[in-house]
Structure 1
Amino acid sequence: MITKELDCFNIAQICDSGQCFRMRQKRDNLYSVIAGNEYLEVTQNGGQCTFHCDENKYETFWKKYFDLNADYKKYIESIDEEDSYLKKASEFGFGIRILRQDLWEMIVSFLISQQNNIVRIRRCIDNICERYGEKRSDGCGNFYYTFPKAEILAELHEDALKDCNLGYRSKYVVRTAKSLTGGEVSLEAIKQMPYKEAKAELMKLYGIGEKVADCICLFALHHFEAFPVDTHIRQALEGHYPDGFPAERYRGCEGVMQQYIFYYELLGKKLG
């Protein structure tokens, strides 16, 4: 186990921020997360976080995954003092970090996310992992399923994933898997592209529009220029930024601000 004192890190907020669908609260302050082939449990008390893994795995995988080398306090301090709305949103979601997630997993996750809610998205992803992923053990009695490879899903009939509750999104996922395995679009090439090129390339895949492409660019490729606009963000823009979000001021961290806004619109207002 590795214990760290961390600023601007809150595993509960990250879990509910809508960027990761394989993270769960197991009990009280204990959370589990599955990323690709890896499984981790995290315990947090205040700023003290315990990562239930060895030091090598923390340093080589999880530290990067949680973006722990970045100073998110600087992002929060950069917010315009006169922008009371964004300041309130950042205070509410101060512990959110932009995760560095697997590109293929994010493509599938956000194809499934269309016209869907977080609870159902999680259930859909659990279903396809249990049916088409590999069962693994973390060595401590926890069993989990890896995310299915594109090659596996590419062999399916377009409607096969309806059995996993994907509905019409089944064909999005299967056709995309076929495009990737057939070489029409290269994930390795996308990883090397700047934001605008990567976004355009992602939109060549069936079912991926501008918003989904931006989510993938932000949560998999770590392109902080991406600013996904869904219903929650659109409402915030209409209510607080009628002339458009001041992206120029936040150049290089627009996506971080988007997450503060999204999380606040999703959960902050419900709490008053």
Structure 2
Amino acid sequence: MDFQYVDKLNGKIVVKNIKNFEPYHVFDCGQCFRWTQESNGNYIGVAYGKVIEIEKKGEDLIIYNITEKEFKDIWVEYFDLYRDYDTVKEMLKKDEILKKSVEFGKGIRILKQEPFEITISFIISANNRIPMIKKEINRISEKFGKEIEYKGNKYYAFPTLEELSKASLEELESCGVGFRAKYIKDTVSKLYKKEFNLKEIKSLNDDECHKMLQKFSGVGPKVADCIMLFSMEKYSAFPVDVWVKRAMKYFYLAPDVSLVKIREFARNKFSELSGFAQQYLFFYARENKIDI
């Protein structure tokens, strides 16, 4: 467990002496799209139908707009606070090459996000840039999700399967997702008609889960790995995007190695910690603009 105790103070929770949690590392390492840094440095995010605000103050993490029950029932797991990241990092730092990336991204934690939202979000992410992905997800949420007010501002929960099942192809296209609209429509339809069930897919072993997710339109190996890692607790997943590809070629592999070979090499090397290694490598490569 990476925190000592919790104080409840007037609509906010103070997590004392938090370890291995830096908001920028967590919310800007490519795993989530509904968190925004405010002018005061705090982050405001929408998840599980709730708007919450995060402030890091010294060694404490202050979470605004939640109850103690919500913290225990949802957010401890969402922020993966029960995991001992010191142990994860020590194991990964045995690899001298990876050590620098782990130390650089020391405050990264892998969020446990909602599978339906993450499936649709990463379908949107394919061949897309993060600012556009965020805009498109926000438009879908505003059009089909429930309105939530926080500090006088309006936010929108990501729509439920029921809510998004009512969206027409034209309405989805109007949210700016382009060719991905048909993928979203098809995926929502398959889930709504119970042709597929994300809970059942999550329960499969890692390799079977990876194969099943690719049966959805617009889900290839990389998107499947993202869904597995960021919402299904499958930590052998190793999404290979442009930054991870550069990092792996820069640190470990020849320049002409295929994406399939990169993934295979990483999973063999890092095993059940592959997903953690991927996040440290991604963050290091992007922040330091590694090129090859």
What TM-score results when the alignment is normalised by the length of structure 2? Answer: 0.86
1:256 pairs with one of 276, 279, 288: 276
Question: Percent of pairs identical after alignment?
Answer: 35
Residue pairs, 1:178-189, within 5 angstroms: 178-189=189-200
**Per-residue CA shift, 1:158-201, capped at 9, x if unaligned?**
34312111011111111110011112111221132221121111
Q: Which of 185-194 and 16-25 deviates more?
A: 185-194
Q: Which residue of 1 aligns with 2:90?
A: 77
Q: Report if aligned partners of 2:243, 2:285 keep a CA contact under 8 Å in 1.
A: yes
Q: Which residue of 2 aligns with 1:218?
A: 229
Aligned partners of 1:247, 1:170: CA distance in 2, in Å?
32
Q: Report if aligned partners of 1:154, 1:175 keep a CA contact under 8 Å in 2.
A: no
Q: Does 1:231 align with 2:242?
A: yes
Amino acid at match of 2:243: H
Aligned partners of 1:183, 1:54: CA distance in 2, in Å?
34
Aligned partners of 2:69, 2:168: CA distance in 1, in Å?
41
**1:21 positional shift:** 0.3
Q: Report if aligned partners of 1:44, 1:50 keep a CA contact under 8 Å in 2.
A: yes
Q: Which of 192-201 and 205-214 deviates more?
A: 192-201
Q: Report if aligned partners of 2:237, 2:267 keep a CA contact under 8 Å in 1.
A: no
Partner SS state of residue 56, structure 2: strand
Query: How many pairs does the alignment contain?
Result: 268
Aligned partners of 2:196, 2:94: CA distance in 1, in Å?
44
Report the CA distance shift for 1:254/1:27 in structure 2 as closer, same or farther (over 3 A).
same
Aligned partners of 1:235, 1:246: CA distance in 2, in Å?
13
What TM-score results when the alignment is normalised by the length of structure 1? Answer: 0.92
Q: Report if aligned partners of 1:98, 1:222 keep a CA contact under 8 Å in 2.
A: no
Aligned partners of 2:273, 2:281: CA distance in 1, in Å?
13
Q: Which residue of 2 aligns with 1:144?
A: 155
Partner SS state of residue 8, structure 1: coil
Residue pairs, 1:110-125, within 5 angstroms: 110-125=122-137
Q: Does 1:66 align with 2:86?
A: no
**RMSD (Å), alpha carbons:** 1.8
Q: Report if aligned partners of 1:9, 1:47 keep a CA contact under 8 Å in 2.
A: no
2:107 pairs with one of 82, 91, 95: 95
Q: Report if aligned partners of 2:136, 2:175 keep a CA contact under 8 Å in 1.
A: yes
Amino acid at match of 2:85: Y
Q: Which residue of 2 aligns with 1:135?
A: 147
Amino acid at match of 2:219: I
Q: Does 1:265 align with 2:285?
A: yes
